Structure 1
Amino acid sequence: MVNIRDLDPSASPLDYYGSELCRLREAAGLNQGQLGSCIFCTASLVGQIETARKVPTRDFSERVDAALGTGGVFSRLVGLVLRSQLPTWFQAYAELEARATYISTYQCQVVYGLLQTEAYARALLGVDQPDRTSEFVAARMERQRILEREDPPALWVVLGEAVLHQEVGSREVMRGQLARLLEFRDHPWVQVQVLPYSVGQHTGMMGAFNLLRFEDNPDLFYAESYDSAHMTANPQVIRERSVGYARLQSCALPSEGSAKLIAHVMEERYGHRKAPAGRTVA
C-alpha cells in the first residue's frame, strides 16, 4: 500500500486531496477507522482516498467537511479532483463549458453529457474502461452542476432522432433517460429539440458539434473524434457553424413537438411489456 508520506501533494489534485485529508484527520486526533465511523464508511475507503488510490465523491467530501469542521475545504477541492479525472484532451473544454453563458449543441449519437442520467452515463463510459467507470461517471455528474447554479448557462440541445432509438444500457435505462429529457420541457434555461428522420439530408451530417458563447471572450467551436478534440475561435468557422446550427434548429421539431416524440418513443420502444403468460417484464 502507498504510504501517505510518499505522496507528492503537488502531483495532482487527487494527491493534494489525499494529503490534506490525512493532515486534517490527524489534526483532529482521529484514525482512519474513527473518521470512517463518523462519515458512515470504512477505514479502508478513507485510506484509499488518502493514498490517492480512489477518487472521492462529492457526498464523501461534504460528510468529511461536516465531521472535521473544515469549512467546506473538501467540498471545494472535490470539483478539481473530479475534473482531473476527465480525459486530458477534454479537460480544457470542460473548463470553458463551465464558464460559458450560452451553449448550443448538436448530438447525433448520444445524449449531451449535461443532460445524461447517471445510469445512461455509466453504460456509455463503461464500454472502453470499465475499471474507471465510477470515476468517469462522477466527473460527468460534476459537470452537470453548472445547470444548478444561480446563473446557469442557456443550453440549447438539438438531438438527432436516432439518439432516442439507440439503446444504451437497457430499455429501463433508456426509459429513465428519455424521462429525464422530458423534465426539461418547462426549464427556463434549457431547450431540447429533436431533428426527425423525415428531415433527410441536413447541415449536421458531418457529425456532432458544440458552440460556446461567453460574455467577455470570443465564441468557440468544439468537435471531437475518437480520442481527441478540435476547438477553435476562428471567426469564419464560428460564422459557418452558427448558420449551420440555426438551420438545424429550424429543421428540428419545436419544443412541444419534440417532447411528444420523446414521450412516444419512451412508451412505444421502452415502455413496460407483458410476457405471453401475462407477466409484466421491463
Structure 2
Amino acid sequence: MARRTSPPIYPHDLPTLYAQQLRGRRTAAGLSMDALAAAMGYTGTWIWQVETGAERPSFKFAEDCDTYWNTDRLFRDIQEAMERPGPVRTVPGFAEYSQHEVRAALIRSYEALMIAGILQTEDFIRAIYTSEQRTAAEIETRVVQRMERQARVLGRDDPPRLWIVHEERALRAMVAPPDVMRAQWAYLLEMCQRPKVHIQVVPENIGYHEGLAGSFTTLTGPSDAAYIESGGYGSYIQDPQAVASFSERFELVRNVALTTSASIDLITSLMESSYDDRLNARQVAQVVPQQR
C-alpha cells in the first residue's frame, strides 16, 4: 500500500487546528495513518481525509480521539466550536443595497448564471450553500437570512413590482437535486401568478445580447440605484448616469427575452421533464452563492 502523505497544515481556523492536533499527536507517537486507524476502528483513508480537511470530523470521532489520546474534551470542544454558528458576513456592498431594496417601488434584475436569490426556495438555498462545505449551523443561518430578506421585500403590505429576466441556462443549471429543482421551478410558476411579479427567460439560442456582460439589478424609488456583484464583491451604484445605463441595458435584454407567457411555458416544460438521467458530476455546478 502506498504511503499516505499530508501537506503542511497551518492552524488559521478551527478545522485546520483540529487536523493539526490529530496529526501532531499521531506523528509524535510514531504512528502511520493506517496504524492509528486500526487502533481506533477507522480506516486510513478517513484519517487522511480529516488531516487534510477533505472531510469534516463527526462528534463520534472527536469523542474517540479524546478517549484514545486521553485529552479530556480537547477534540470535542473544537468540534463544538466548528458547529457553532458564527457571524454571517455579507458580500461588501450588499448591506447598503438591501437597505434600499426593502423600500424600492420597482426591482428589475437580470440573472445570467443562477435563479435570482429573491425567488429561491428554502431547499434550493440550502442546496447551494451546502456546496460550499459549510457547517450545518452556518448553512441554516444563511438559509434563514435569505428567507427573511424575501419576507421583508415581498411580504410587505405594498410589495414592489418585481421584474426578473433569467438566462435559460440559469434555470437549467442543476445546482440542486432533481426534486429540489422541480420544486424551485414550480415555485417560479407560483410566483408568476402574483400581479406584481414578472419573469421572463432569454432562450439559449438567442446569441449575443447586452446582458452577457454580467448580472445586475436596478432599483426605482424612493431613490434610483443599481447593484452588481461578481467574485464575492458587490457594488451599490447611485451615479445617475450609470444607473440610467443599467436601466437601458435591462430593457435591451428584456426585448430579446421570451414573452411572459412563453417563459411560463418554458419553465413548465422544465418542471415536467425528468432530469434524473442528466444529473452527473459534470452537470452539478459548484456555484458560489451570490447575495442577490
Q: For this structure pair, what is the TM-score category when the shorter chain's length is used for normalisation?
A: 0.5 to 0.7
Instruction: Choose the corresponding residue for 1:168, options 175, 179, 195.
Output: 175
Q: What's 2:185 paired with?
A: 178
Question: 1:259 Cα deviation (Å)?
Answer: 0.4
Deviations 1:29-86 (A, max 9, x none): xxxxxxxxxxxxxxxxxxx9xxxx658xxxxxxxxxxxxxxxxxxxxxxxxxxxx735
Q: What's 1:221 paired with?
A: 226
Instruction: Choose the corresponding residue for 1:99, options 92, 103, 119.
Output: 103
Looking at structure 2, the residues matched to 120 and 129 of structure 1 have their Cα atoms a distance apart, in angstroms, of 15
Matched, 1:85 2:85: no
Give the direction of change, closer, same or farther, for the CA distance of 1:205–1:269 in structure 2 (3 Å limit): farther
Instruction: Choose the corresponding residue for 2:131, options 127, 152, 161.
Output: 127
Question: 1:245 Cα deviation (Å)?
Answer: 0.5
Instruction: Choose the corresponding residue for 1:143, options 127, 146, 149.
Output: 149
Q: Alignment partner of 1:183: what SS?
A: helix
Instruction: Choose the corresponding residue for 1:208, options 215, 231, 236.
Output: 215
Question: 1:186 Cα deviation (Å)?
Answer: 2.0
Looking at structure 2, the residues matched to 160 and 154 of structure 1 have their Cα atoms a distance apart, in angstroms, of 20
Give the TM-score normalised by structure 2: 0.62
After TM superposition, the structure 1 = structure 2 runs for residues 102-121 of structure 1, keeping only pairs within 5 Å, are 102-121=106-125
Contact 1:86 1:136 (8 Å CA) reproduced: no
Q: Which amino acid aligns with 2:160?
A: P
Percent of matched pairs sharing the same residue: 35
Instruction: Choose the corresponding residue for 2:166, options 159, 172, 175.
Output: 159
Looking at structure 1, the residues matched to 200 and 253 of structure 2 have their Cα atoms a distance apart, in angstroms, of 10
Q: What's 1:259 paired with?
A: 264
Matched, 1:188 2:195: yes
Contact 1:117 1:180 (8 Å CA) reproduced: yes
Q: Alignment partner of 1:205: what SS?
A: helix
Deviations 1:212-270 (A, max 9, x none): 1112x2x1111011221112111221122111110111111111100000011222244
Looking at structure 2, the residues matched to 252 and 170 of structure 1 have their Cα atoms a distance apart, in angstroms, of 27
Moved over 6 A (4+): none
Question: 1:198 Cα deviation (Å)?
Answer: 2.1
Q: Alignment partner of 2:158: what SS?
A: coil
Give the direction of change, closer, same or farther, for the CA distance of 1:86–1:191 in structure 2 (3 Å limit): farther
Deviations 1:191-222 (A, max 9, x none): 0001111211000001110001112x2x1111
Looking at structure 2, the residues matched to 252 and 196 of structure 1 have their Cα atoms a distance apart, in angstroms, of 7
Give 5+ residue unaligned stretches, structure 1. 1-47, 56-83, 274-282
Q: Alignment partner of 2:244: what SS?
A: helix
Contact 1:175 1:270 (8 Å CA) reproduced: no
Q: Which amino acid aligns with 1:233?
A: Q
Q: What's 2:238 paired with?
A: 233
Question: 1:272 Cα deviation (Å)?
Answer: 10
Q: Which amino acid aligns with 2:90?
A: P
Q: Which stretch of structure 1 is more off in the superposition, 244-253 or 122-131?
A: 122-131
After TM superposition, the structure 1 = structure 2 runs for residues 53-68 of structure 1, keeping only pairs within 5 Å, are none
RMSD of the TM alignment (CA)? 2.1
Q: Alignment partner of 2:140: what SS?
A: helix
After TM superposition, the structure 1 = structure 2 runs for residues 3-14 of structure 1, keeping only pairs within 5 Å, are none
Question: 1:172 Cα deviation (Å)?
Answer: 0.7
Q: Which amino acid aligns with 2:196?
A: W
Question: 1:122 Cα deviation (Å)?
Answer: 0.7
Looking at structure 2, the residues matched to 86 and 141 of structure 1 have their Cα atoms a distance apart, in angstroms, of 16
Give the TM-score normalised by structure 1: 0.64
Give the number of aligned pairs.
192
Q: Which amino acid aligns with 2:210?
A: T
Q: Which amino acid aligns with 2:149?
A: R
Q: Alignment partner of 1:212: what SS?
A: strand
